[in-house]
């Protein structure tokens, strides 16, 4: 029985892993939540060569274009998850040292979470290291091209992103147990000094290279400094070539990191979790940092005790660009429900709430010129819902990436029937 | 938008000024006027009034009224019976990650005499946050071992745990032993043959131990009924279970576990409720035939890798079709208030809304022997109900009033206090 069942799972994966060939598509007669230009009723979205070619109520669908009937359905930009640990090969923490910006996450293509995320309308995600290190390493922005090899998942044009982390998780990496690793830093104070020490080193390194380049113009025999990939990455961070996404909880540590970055001439691009961001919202806005948070996740550790669901609305109302992320292979499947929580607590508007899973995370990943709204010229990453995505009766009908259907609920339902039949017919006496 | 938020906060302050009395709330006589009332008895009354007196619902209807009562204008709003989270550590657990704030489990495998009710923290921040979304009762459960102890059915507000308890012994928590580590495919199939044998042996031992305890409990109960005065605290504690006065809430997720749990109920004459039941859909006919209900594990969880992607979302709809009764649970304390949104996920995948509402109210009340006290809006029942701007399954709806045991509960909690403080910070855009 088990063999049969597992081969069914494989069959599911294979069938679903074969998206429709590149073809022009029109979604007709749907309610379109454009994010950029309001909500359009009875509208058509025309997709050509994987991009949005036309949006509106008076779009003519050319012959030969595959039509998806959108009657009664809601169409929105594909959901973007700005904090995920899916599709990562091996562990997510390089736990040996606390500062490892040279480490780069390897992407894998066979994580079922990609498919389940698609089934929740998700089309892109930022894959990040864990939070054991002050500076954990470089992440990856992917599209949910389920079934394609790992190399094809990378989202071209996205930022280079490095994960920082503050607070309990970083300091917890050392414990007092006799056999466990003892590692600096062990306090929030130590985290600040770790950052200052390493960025001072990187400044020095950068200066040595600048001096060398200057010398080399006159002296062909000038000897270059020894290359150091770690310091090189830190220098890239200071230049803004790698954007910082910082795991953070408390207001004090968020403020500390902004001040450290300012002292070294760079900016924290996005704070992750940032559960007490509402306490320093004005400072975040002034620094120019964005925020990617949980909708309503609190009380699981001391630094999450002051997390409130009004965080999104409060930060947003003071000018911070806010997204809602999953940080979980479970929540990623229902981010549309998480975003609705922004309306419940603190009174966000519907569009602001929808932006938290579309345009705002796109900005945080550096892909807002490519995706995040339904606008002509953007890549056709689209989710089709059975009802308004915030309504209790909503589920995802179809998810398109680059204009191709990667998830189709009707197909999934057919497969479910097949699998259920198989399970029942093969559950015979010898299995019991 | 900030201005609007401030105005809203001011309005909230003004309306709650009338009930300035602190937690657990203002007592007295109340008339809620002009609401659409979902009674839970199959009726939805338009433009109806509800009279609350001495902690109970006195009358419901278009002309129901009371002299000298505190009036609550609910025109354009909706009233529902208080929602129930049917499995949570609420009251026993506070900040996760701090061991001393999560004392839910006793040492040893068989602890039917441990009572959750006596360890409930009345002033838990999580309790206040839970009730603010209309969740007025919970099953608070101990954990660990094979028999963890007694879960209580509690209201989420009260002066003491005695005041809060609706059923101090609502169910016995039994964790059906699980044969670990043998699933084919992901997360299983590992282990050397010797380790597998040892694990299988341990599983068999645990099942035997459980059956021995139940057999002994049955004999003990018969002896006590026959007049024996020899008291054993553990077996004494199991008498209500053996006499059918309280059910066993049996954790069982796999098909095999569920079948075994149903069989356990039949063999020892105990009333079984399945707890978790990830694969209940596979044995739905068996559950329906034996009238065994299910407290669903968190809907916000992933199915096994070889199951359909929506197996957990779709299960309540499938069980409903088959005639199996169920309740929703969050399994957590911090977000027990989200229990209606768990139900909403099931509605998105095929469960009718009416059934979802029943599974949040009257069905768990029935399962845990409290249908005469809570679960519907009917005269004589405890006044556990809430006023909301819309469908309680819709995250966007705003709960404006909560009554628990007839008390008008203050709507502030740790979250709203922090919100109001920082929303009032000068500056900003």
Instruction: Quickly state the pLDDT bin for A176 (edges 50, 70, 90).
Output: low
Least confident of A4-8, B215-219, B298-302, B304-308: A4-8
Q: Does residue A60 share a domain with residue A83? A: no
- What pLDDT shows up at residue B7? 47
| pLDDT greater than 70 at residue A196 | yes
Q: What would the two tokens of residue B338 be?
A: 């989200």
Least confident of A13-27, A300-314, B359-373: A13-27
The better pLDDT of the pair B398, B6 is held by B398
A341 touches B at CB < 8 Å: yes
| pLDDT greater than 80 at residue B336 | yes
Q: Does residue A68 share a domain with residue A11? A: yes
Domain total of chain A? 2
Q: What would the two tokens of residue A64 be?
A: 């030969």
Instruction: Quickly state the pLDDT bin for A90 (edges 50, 70, 90).
Output: confident
| Residues forming a β-bridge with A272 | A247, A292
Q: Tell if the CB–CB gap between B341 and A416 is shorter than 8 Å.
A: no
- What pLDDT shows up at residue A417? 82
- What pLDDT shows up at residue B185? 34
Q: Is the ipTM above a cut-off of 0.95?
A: no
Q: Tell if the CB–CB gap between B98 and A3 is shorter than 8 Å.
A: no
- What pLDDT shows up at residue A175? 53
| Residues forming a β-bridge with A304 | none
Phi, psi of B298 (to 5 degrees): -50, 125
Look at residue B114 and give its three-state secondary structure.
coil
Q: What would the two tokens of residue B324 be?
A: 């199996």
| pLDDT greater than 70 at residue A367 | yes
Mean pLDDT of A396-408: 97
Q: Tell if the CB–CB gap between B415 and A416 is shorter than 8 Å.
A: no
Residue A407, domain extent:
1-78+372-432
Q: Supply the CATH number for residue A219's domain.
A: 3.20.20.140
What is the 8-class DSSP label of residue B118? Answer: G
| pLDDT greater than 70 at residue A106 | yes
A313 touches B at CB < 8 Å: yes
Q: Does residue A346 share a domain with residue A397? A: no
Distance (Å) from the C-alpha of residue B184 to the closest C-alpha of chain A? Answer: 7
Residues of B with CB below 8 A from A392's CB? Answer: 341, 343-344, 347-348, 353, 391, 393-395
- Using alpha carbons, list the distances in angstroms from residue A30 to A43, A44, A55, A388, A402: 5, 7, 11, 11, 19
Mean pLDDT of A27-36: 98
| pLDDT greater than 60 at residue A19 | no
Q: Does residue A90 share a domain with residue A66? A: no
CATH architecture of B83-370: Alpha-Beta Barrel (3.20)
Mean pLDDT of B419-429: 87
The better pLDDT of the pair A19, A119 is held by A119
- What pLDDT shows up at residue A279? 98
Mean pLDDT taken over chain A = 92
| Cα–Cα distance, A268 to A271 (Å, whole number) | 7
| pLDDT greater than 70 at residue B8 | no
| pLDDT greater than 50 at residue A11 | no
Instruction: Quickly state the pLDDT bin for B183 (edges 50, 70, 90).
Output: very low
Strand locations in B63-164 (E) = 70-73, 78-81, 83-88, 135-140, 147-155
| pLDDT greater than 50 at residue A416 | yes
> Per-residue DSSP letters for B48-68?
EEEEEETTEEEEEETT---TT
- Using alpha carbons, list the distances in angstroms from residue B287 to A119, A426, B323, B329, B367: 30, 21, 9, 19, 14
Instruction: Quickly state the pLDDT bin for B191 (edges 50, 70, 90).
Output: low
| pLDDT greater than 60 at residue B10 | no
Query: Nearest CA to B70 among B380, B408, B412?
Result: B408
Identify the residue among A392, A410, A431 best suited for mutation to test binding to B, counting B beta carbons within 10 A and taking the highest.
A392
Residues of A with CB below 8 A from B309's CB? Answer: 115-116, 119, 333, 412
Q: Supply the CATH number for residue A63's domain.
A: 2.30.40.10
> Per-residue DSSP letters for B264-323?
HHHHHT--EEEEE-TTGGGGHHHHHHTT--EEEPPSSSPPPTTS-TTHHHHHHHHHHHHT
Q: Does residue A173 share a domain with residue A290? A: yes
Residue in this structure with the two tokens 């049996």, named with its chain if needed: B250
Mean pLDDT of B153-162: 97
Q: Does residue A87 share a domain with residue A60? A: no
- State pLDDT tens for residues B57-84: 999 999 999 999 999 999 999 999 999 9
Q: Does residue A108 share a domain with residue A46? A: no
Residue in this structure with the two tokens 């088990």, named with its chain if needed: A2
Distance (Å) from the C-alpha of residue A39 to the closest C-alpha of chain B? Answer: 18
- Counted across chains A and B, CB pairs separated by less than 8 A come out at 143
Residue A293 burial (10 A CB sphere; 0-12, 13-18, 19+): buried
- What pLDDT shows up at residue B18? 43
Q: Does residue A395 share a domain with residue A283? A: no
- What pLDDT shows up at residue B192? 76
Q: Tell if the CB–CB gap between B419 and A119 is shorter than 8 Å.
A: no
Residue B238 parent element (H or E): none
Q: Tell if the CB–CB gap between A281 and B422 is shorter than 8 Å.
A: yes
Residue in this structure with the two tokens 């992440």, named with its chain if needed: A139
- Using alpha carbons, list the distances in angstroms from residue B383 to A346, B37, B117, B361, B364: 29, 13, 21, 13, 17
Q: Does residue A6 share a domain with residue A155? A: no
- What pLDDT shows up at residue B187? 36
Q: Does residue A143 share a domain with residue A115? A: yes
Instruction: Quickly state the pLDDT bin for A427 (edges 50, 70, 90).
Output: very low
Q: Does residue A132 share a domain with residue A192? A: yes
Of A349, A371, A393, the last residue of a domain is A371
| Cα–Cα distance, B357 to B363 (Å, whole number) | 9
Phi, psi of B90 (to 5 degrees): -55, 130
The closest CB to that of B419, out of A8, A299, A346, belongs to A346
Phi, psi of B389 (to 5 degrees): -80, -15
Helix B2-17 to helix B414-423 angle, to the nearest 10 degrees?
A: 130
Q: Does residue A141 share a domain with residue A59? A: no
Return all residues near A112 (Cβ < 8 A) that are at least 6 apart: A13, B305
What are the sequence ranges of the domains in chain B? 83-370
**What is this structure's pTM?**
0.92
- State pLDDT tens for residues A222-241: 999 999 999 999 999 999 99
Q: Tell if the CB–CB gap between A297 and B335 is shorter than 8 Å.
A: yes
| pLDDT greater than 80 at residue B358 | yes
A288 touches B at CB < 8 Å: no
| Cα–Cα distance, B86 to B139 (Å, whole number) | 5
Instruction: Quickly state the pLDDT bin for A177 (edges 50, 70, 90).
Output: low
Return all residues near B228 (Cβ < 8 A) that are at least 6 apart: none
Return all residues near A244 (Cβ < 8 A) that are at least 6 apart: A161, A162, A164, A237, A261, A266, A267, A268, A269, A270
- State pLDDT tens for residues A149-170: 999 999 999 999 999 999 999 9
| Cα–Cα distance, A351 to A34 (Å, whole number) | 9
Instruction: Quickly state the pLDDT bin for B190 (edges 50, 70, 90).
Output: low
In contact, A181 and A95? CB cutoff 8 Å = yes
């Amino acid at each position: 029985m088990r063999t049969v069942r597992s081969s069914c799972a494989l069959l599911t994966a294979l069938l679903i892993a074969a998206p429709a060939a590149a073809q022009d598509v029109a979604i007709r007669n749907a309610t379109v939540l454009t994010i950029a230009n309001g909500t359009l009723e009875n509208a058509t979205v025309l997709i050509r060569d994987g991009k949005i070619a036309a949006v509106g109520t008076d779009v003519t669908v050319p012959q030969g274009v595959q039509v998806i009937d959108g009657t009664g359905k809601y169409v929105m930009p594909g959901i973007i998850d700005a904090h995920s640990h899916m599709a990562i090969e091996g562990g997510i923490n390089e736990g040996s040292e606390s500062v490892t910006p040279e480490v780069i996450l390897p992407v894998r293509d066979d994580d079922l979470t990609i498919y389940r995320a698609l089934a929740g309308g998700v089309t892109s995600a930022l894959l990040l290291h864990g939070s054991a290190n002050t500076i954990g390493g470089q992440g990856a922005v992917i599209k949910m091209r389920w079934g394609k090899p790992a190399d094809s998942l990378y989202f071209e044009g996205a930022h280079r992103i490095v994960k920082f982390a503050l607070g309990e998780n970083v300091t917890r990496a050392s414990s007092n147990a006799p056999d466990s690793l003892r590692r600096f830093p062990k306090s929030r104070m130590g985290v600040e000094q770790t950052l200052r020490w390493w960025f001072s080193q990187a400044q020095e390194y950068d200066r040595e290279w600048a001096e060398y380049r200057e010398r080399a113009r006159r002296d062909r025999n000038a000897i270059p400094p020894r290359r150091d990939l770690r310091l090189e990455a830190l220098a890239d961070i200071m230049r803004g070539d790698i954007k910082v996404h910082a795991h953070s909880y408390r207001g004090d540590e968020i403020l500390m990191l902004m001040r450290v970055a300012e002292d070294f001439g760079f900016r924290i691009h996005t704070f992750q979790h940032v559960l007490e961001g509402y306490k320093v919202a004005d400072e975040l806005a002034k620094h120019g940092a964005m925020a990617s948070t949980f909708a309503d996740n609190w009380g699981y550790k001391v630094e999450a005790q002051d997390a409130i669901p009004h965080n999104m609305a409060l930060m947003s109302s003071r000018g911070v660009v806010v997204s809602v992320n999953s940080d979980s292979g479970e929540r990623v499947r229902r981010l549309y429900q998480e975003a609705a929580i922004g309306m419940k607590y603190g009174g966000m508007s519907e569009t602001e709430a929808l932006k938290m899973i579309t345009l705002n995370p796109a900005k945080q990943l550096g892909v807002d010129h490519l995706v995040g709204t339904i606008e002509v010229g953007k890549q056709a990453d689209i989710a089709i819902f059975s009802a308004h995505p915030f309504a209790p009766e909503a589920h995802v009908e179809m998810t398109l990436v680059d204009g191709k259907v990667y998830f189709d609920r009707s197909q999934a339902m057919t497969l479910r029937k097949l699998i259920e039949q198989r399970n029942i017919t093969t559950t015979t006496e010898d299995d019991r | 938008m900030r201005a609007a938020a401030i105005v809203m906060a001011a309005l909230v302050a003004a309306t709650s000024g009338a009930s300035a009395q602190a937690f657990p709330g203002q007592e007295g006589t109340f008339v809620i006027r002009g609401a659409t009332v979902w009674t839970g008895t199959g009726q939805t009354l338009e433009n109806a009034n509800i009279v609350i007196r001495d902690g109970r619902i006195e009358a419901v209807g278009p002309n129901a009224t009371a002299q000298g009562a505190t009036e609550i204008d609910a025109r354009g709003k909706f009233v529902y019976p208080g929602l129930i989270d049917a499995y949570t550590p609420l009251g026993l657990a506070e900040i996760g990650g701090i061991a001393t704030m999560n004392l839910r489990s006793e040492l040893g495998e068989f602890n039917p005499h441990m009572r959750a009710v006596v360890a409930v923290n009345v002033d838990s921040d999580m309790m206040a946050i839970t009730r603010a979304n209309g969740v007025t009762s919970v099953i608070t459960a101990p954990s660990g071992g094979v028999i963890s102890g007694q879960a209580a059915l509690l209201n989420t507000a009260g002066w003491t745990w005695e005041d809060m308890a609706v059923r101090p012994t609502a169910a016995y928590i039994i964790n059906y032993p699980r044969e670990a580590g043998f699933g084919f495919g992901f997360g299983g199939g590992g282990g050397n043959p010797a380790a597998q044998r040892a694990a299988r042996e341990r599983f068999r031992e645990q099942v035997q131990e459980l059956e021995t305890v139940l057999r002994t409990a049955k004999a003990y109960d018969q002896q006590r009924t026959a007049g024996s005065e020899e008291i054993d605290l553990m077996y004494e504690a199991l008498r209500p279970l053996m006499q059918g006065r309280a059910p066993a809430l049996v954790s069982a997720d796999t098909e095999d576990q569920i079948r075994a749990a149903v069989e356990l109920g039949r063999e020892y004459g105990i009333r079984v409720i399945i707890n978790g039941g990830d694969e209940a859909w596979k044995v739905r006919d068996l559950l329906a035939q034996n009238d065994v209900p299910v407290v669903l594990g968190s809907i916000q969880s992933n199915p096994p890798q070889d199951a359909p992607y929506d197996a957990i979302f779709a299960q309540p709809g499938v069980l409903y079709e088959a005639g199996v009764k169920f309740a929703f649970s969050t399994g957590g304390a911090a977000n027990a208030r989200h229990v209606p949104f768990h139900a909403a996920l099931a509605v998105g995948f095929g469960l009718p809304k009416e059934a979802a509402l029943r599974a949040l109210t009257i069905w768990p009340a029935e399962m845990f022997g409290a249908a005469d006290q809570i679960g519907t809006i009917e005269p004589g029942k405890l006044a556990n109900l809430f006023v909301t701007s819309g469908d309680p399954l819709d995250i966007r709806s705003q709960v404006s009033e909560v009554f628990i045991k007839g008390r008008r509960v203050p709507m502030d909690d740790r979250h709203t206090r922090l919100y109001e403080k920082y929303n009032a910070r000068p500056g900003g855009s």
